[in-house]
Amino acid sequence: MTERATEAAGSADPGVRADDLEQWLHRYQQMLTIRLFEEEVNELYKSRLMPGLAHQYSGEEAVAVGVCETLRRDDTITSTHRGHGHCLAKGAVVDRMFAELLGKAPGYCRGKGGSMHIADPEGGNLGANAIVGGSAGIATGAALSAKMRGTDQVSVCFFGDGALGQGLIYEVMNMAALWKLPVIYVCENNLYSEYTPSPQVLAGTIRARPEAFGIYTVEVDGQDIGAVYEAAQGLVDRCRQGEGPGFLICNTYRYYGHHVGDINRTYYRSKEEEAYWRTERDPLTLLGSWLQAQGMADAGMLAQIEREVDATVKAGVAFAINAPYPDKSEVDQHVYA
């Protein structure tokens, strides 16, 4: 990336620093990695190489990348059933991600977690969680731990709008506010919980919920990585300075079904609505256009990044397909915390 950044710096706005440029290209690459990763997930499902189902993050990439780019490696995140994007954005490599999805030994959980239970404590990923809202307690506990140990680590809890129907999140927000814990609750409001439009199951507004606990709340366009990044950075800074928890509402959209098997969706949302988000509100297109308008990149550079990411993702699939399954002798290992 450095070479590319330097190359573009010549034509860039003089106000854009080379390290900024490198970081923005890195964010574009990260978002594209998630997008292409999820396309391969669908192929693996259709070809029956992947056991079970998976929930694609496509369309929501700016949220995970915008937030995780403000974090250090020793900061922690918790994730959801729709978690591939969070894991990749926090630094997971595609080879081990695909291996986990296929149940293979080099996977992040030695193939025993699968799509919905990927964890990487060394990279600060405390784990995806298939229990809707379930990770709120873990993320808040991690923040309490950081505070008690006297570190300035920050804990981020990703969850969907559907998790707002769970009681746990209200219990932990109460504690986080009282004890000024360094935790950020990131609500990915993608307008649906499974096959139900969220307004049918959410009374009042999302914002009113954290504000009832006095938690500092920001709402952003989740398709605009610049807006997500800036808001997340502000919340991270507050946490590090001991000012307590934050709540970030990211308005976004999932392009595909609730999971890979949810093909016919017209009974709960229209094709026109899906087309609108994909053509007018696509986070990658928006970032690509912005980079070009700033003179930070041109179409050729973006195409080159796409070729590189595509090759990496395809190599990751091949790695996972060729990887061994865990040995039968370890069937009862690594399965209890």
Ligand X SMILES: Cc1ncc(C[n+]2csc(CCOP(=O)(O)OP(=O)(O)O)c2C)c(N)n1
Residues that bind ligand X (CB under 6 A): 81-82, 130-132, 160-163, 188, 190, 192-194, 258
Backbone angles phi, psi at 178, to 5 degrees: -60, -40
**Identity of the residue, 52 or 214, whose beta carbon is nearer to ligand X in the bound complex:** 52
Q: Shortest Cβ contact with ligand X: which residue?
A: 160
Handedness of CA 51, 56, 62, 63 (dihedral sign): negative
Among 70, 76, 190, 217, binds Mg ion (CB under 5 A): 190
The whole-angstrom separation of Cα 118 and Cα 308 is 25
With residue 87 as reference, give the H or E element that holds it: helix 84-89
Shortest approach of ligand X to residue 312 CB, angstroms? Answer: 25
**Identity of the residue, 98 or 192, whose beta carbon is nearer to ligand X in the bound complex:** 192
Q: Which does 82 bind (CB under 5 to 8 A by kind): ligand X, Mg ion, none?
A: ligand X
Q: How far is CA 82 from CA 52, 87, 105, 260, in A?
A: 14, 10, 22, 11
Which residues in the chain belong to E strands, given as ranges? Answer: 76-78, 155-160, 183-189, 192-193, 196-197, 216-221, 246-251
Among 87-95, 153-161, 300-308, 318-326, which window interacts with Mg ion (CB under 5 A)? Answer: 153-161
Nearest to residue 205, comparing CAs of 171, 247, 155?
247
Q: Which does 76 bind (CB under 5 to 8 A by kind): ligand X, Mg ion, none?
A: none
Q: Is 160 in the site for Mg ion (CB under 5 A)?
A: yes
The whole-angstrom separation of Cα 211 and Cα 207 is 6
**Identity of the residue, 175 or 202, whose beta carbon is nearer to Mg ion in the bound complex:** 202
3-state secondary structure at position 187: strand
Q: Which does 85 bind (CB under 5 to 8 A by kind): Mg ion, ligand X, none?
A: none
Shortest approach of ligand X to residue 80 CB, angstroms? Answer: 6
Count other C-beta atoms under 10 Å from residue 153's C-beta: 19
Q: Is 56 in the site for Mg ion (CB under 5 A)?
A: no
Q: Is 251 in the site for Mg ion (CB under 5 A)?
A: no
**Identity of the residue, 230 or 262, whose beta carbon is nearer to ligand X in the bound complex:** 262
The whole-angstrom separation of Cα 183 and Cα 240 is 10
Number of residues that bind Mg ion (CB under 5 A): 4
3-state secondary structure at position 120: strand
Q: Which does 132 bind (CB under 5 to 8 A by kind): Mg ion, ligand X, none?
A: ligand X
Q: Which does 101 bind (CB under 5 to 8 A by kind): Mg ion, ligand X, none?
A: none
**Identity of the residue, 57 or 108, whose beta carbon is nearer to ligand X in the bound complex:** 57
Shortest approach of Mg ion to residue 91 CB, angstroms? Answer: 25
Nearest to residue 125, comparing CAs of 88, 173, 152?
88
Among 109-117, 150-158, 160-168, 300-308, which window interacts with Mg ion (CB under 5 A)? Answer: 160-168
Can you read off the two tokens belonging to residue 174? 């109460």
Among 22, 161, 224, 282, binds Mg ion (CB under 5 A): 161
Q: Which does 298 bind (CB under 5 to 8 A by kind): Mg ion, ligand X, none?
A: none
Q: How far is CA 297 from CA 33, 160, 287, in A?
A: 18, 33, 11
Binding site for Mg ion (CB under 5 A): 160-162, 190
